Amino acid sequence: MKATTIKVSVETRERLRELGGATYEDTVVEALDALEADRFWAEAEAAAQSRQNLPTAERRLREEAEAAVDRAFRRIR
């Protein structure tokens, strides 16, 4: 993999060092993975909440459509 240099403040570099990964790259990758996971779950929670906020009739229509798709996939196994 090709390497590059990024400029960070001394404070940021020290924060990276304090996190204690084997290398700065390991620490940055771990931090990015954690951030991506946090964002994924935040989006999933927002979607679940949005679904809960749908009117009952709309929610039932979606559940019926999902059940129809599930049945179709079960038939092709």
Report pLDDT digits (tens) over 1-54: 898 999 999 999 999 999 988 999 999 999 999 999 999 999 999 999 999 999
Measured between alpha carbons, how far is 67 from 9 in angstroms, rounded to an integer? Answer: 53
> What are the structural domain ranges in the chain?
10-75
Per-residue confidence (pLDDT) for residue 77, from 0 to 100: 80
User: In whole angstroms, what separates CA 68 from the centre of its chain?
Assistant: 27
For 39-77, what is each residue's pLDDT tens digit? 999 999 999 999 999 999 999 999 999 999 999 999 998
Query: Which tokens sit at 8?
Result: 């960070």
